[in-house]
């Protein structure tokens, strides 16, 4: 049986632990590390998973999932490197950190898989993109796909595409939240109570997302189906085009990609 240690059980680390438990993993095969005893006690009380020290995790776990903030990575790898079990797989959830950073700091030959998850992991609906480091083999990628499959969907991409992935799905939930927020404001503008506007838009977002995911139809086809001649929707679409919403999204996502590249260069 594979044992998994989550190093840094904050928002994403805890979501992964919770998803693995829901996916049928046993508490006996999971462990985590955290800095503060109070947080350890809280997490153990909530999930029944044991807290361990970094050396204990390194000595016993087959897979070490690194889920600390990128700025905390160097001290953690310094602590991990001398005690890492030979053959252990290191899985990084850290945004923007290249696999070569881990390979440089950890013992020669350590297999590393880089993951870009997103926050819907909290509700078991993550989109995660995974990339193999220099020493990761197909069985390592399969293992990571199995783990992350418990908390959403998983796609393999070359590591060179991870900055684009960060801009699209890593930051993606924020763009949808921004759109929903603006649409609720539009409801307020039209005189609806905020709670009514929020319910209308949130359920429309859930319904539209389900149609996109389940129908297999192109978004254009789905939009055309609700855009009748001289109807209400085409009037709104004309305004969206007039205000350059499509161009704004292209520019916004390109800017996020550029920022991800810049953050990655800081660790070169
Ligand atoms: N949240 C997102 O949307 C998202 C999306 C994609 C990827 N990620 C990546 O996921 C990682 C975690 O993000 P997050 O939002 O979950 O951050 P977070 O809530 O701050 O979680 C990180 C946790 O790790 C703990 N920690 C730091 N250094 C440690 C060490 N040496 N040993 C043990 N525990 C340690 C932190 O403790 P303290 O509180 O004491 O510092 C904190 O509880 C980041 O690298 C981020 O780039 C996040």
pLDDT, tens digit (0-9, with 9 covering 90-100), for 97-126:
999 999 999 999 999 999 999 999 989 999
Q: By alpha-carbon position, which residue is closest to atom 15 of ligand 1? A: 11
Q: Exposed/middle/buried for 88, CB within 10 Å: 0-12, 13-18, 19+? A: buried
Task: Write the CATH number for 233.
Answer: 1.10.3730.10
Domain identity same for 108 and 63: yes
Chain-centroid distance of CA 212 in Å reads 20
Q: Which of 136, 130, 127 is nearest to 173 (CA)?
A: 127
Domain identity same for 105 and 192: no
Alpha helices by DSSP H, 4-114: 11-22, 37-47, 54-60, 73-80, 99-105
Q: Does 70 appear as a known binding residue?
A: yes
What's the pLDDT tens digit per position in 246-257? 999 999 999 999
List residues bridging with 5 in a β-sheet: 31, 64
Residue 179 is predicted with a pLDDT of: 98
Flag whether 165 is in a domain. Answer: no
Flag whether 202 is in a domain. Answer: yes
> Would you say residue 267 has pLDDT above 80?
no
Q: By alpha-carbon position, which residue is closest to atom 18 of ligand 1? A: 10
Ligand 1 atom closest to the Cα of residue 54 is: 32
Strand segments (E) across the chain: 4-7, 30-33, 50-51, 63-66, 89-92, 112-116, 126-132, 152-156
CA of 80 to the centre of ligand 1 (A): 16
Mapped onto helix, strand or coil, the DSSP state of residue 35 is coil
Structurally, the chain folds into a number of domains equal to 2
CA of 92 to the centre of ligand 1 (A): 11
Q: What residue numbers bound the domain in which 129 lies?
A: 4-157
Q: Of 130, 157, 184, at which residue does a domain stop?
A: 157
Measured between alpha carbons, how far is 90 from 84 in angstroms, rounded to an integer? 10
CA of 5 to the centre of ligand 1 (A): 14
Domain identity same for 114 and 238: no
* Residue 48 CB contacts under 8 Å (≥ 6 apart), including other chains: 21, 27
> Would you say residue 1 has pLDDT above 80?
no
On whether the CB atoms of residues 87 and 61 are closer than 8 A, the answer is no
Q: Which of 62, 75, 249, 73 is nearest to 171 (CA)?
A: 249
Q: Which of 72, 78, 89, 71 is nearest to 4 (CA)?
A: 89
Flag whether 164 is in a domain. Answer: no
What's the pLDDT tens digit per position in 207-232? 999 999 999 999 999 999 999 999 99
């Amino acid at each position: 049986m594979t044992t998994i240690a989550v190093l840094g059980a904050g928002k994403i680390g805890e979501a992964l632990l919770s998803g693995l438990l829901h996916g049928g993993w046993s508490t006996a095969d999971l462990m985590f590390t955290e800095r503060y005893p109070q947080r350890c006690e809280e997490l153990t009380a909530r999930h029944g998973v044991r807290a361990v020290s970094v050396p204990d995790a390194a000595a016993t776990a087959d897979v070490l999932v690194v889920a600390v903030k990128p700025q905390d990575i160097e001290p953690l790898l310094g602590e991990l490197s001398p005690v890492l079990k030979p053959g252990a797989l290191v899985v990084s959830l850290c945004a923007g950190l290249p696999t070569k950073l881990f390979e440089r700091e950890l013992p020669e030959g350590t297999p590393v898989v880089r993951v870009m998850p997103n926050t819907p992991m909290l509700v078991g609906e993550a989109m995660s993109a995974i990339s193999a480091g220099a020493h990761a083999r197909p069985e390592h990628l399969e293992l990571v796909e199995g783990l992350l499959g418990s908390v959403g969907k998983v796609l393999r991409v070359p590591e060179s595409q991870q900055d684009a992935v960060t801009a699209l799905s890593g930051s993606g939930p924020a763009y949808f939240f921004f759109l929903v927020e603006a649409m609720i404001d539009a409801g307020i503008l039209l005189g609806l109570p905020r709670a009514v506007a929020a319910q209308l838009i949130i359920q429309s977002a859930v319904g539209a997302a389900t149609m996109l995911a389940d129908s297999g139809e192109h978004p254009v086809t789905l939009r055309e189906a609700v855009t009748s001649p001289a109807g209400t929707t085409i009037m709104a679409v004309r305004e969206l085009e007039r205000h350059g919403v499509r161009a704004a999204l292209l520019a916004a996502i390109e800017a996020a990609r550029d920022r991800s590249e810049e953050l990655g260069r800081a660790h070169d």
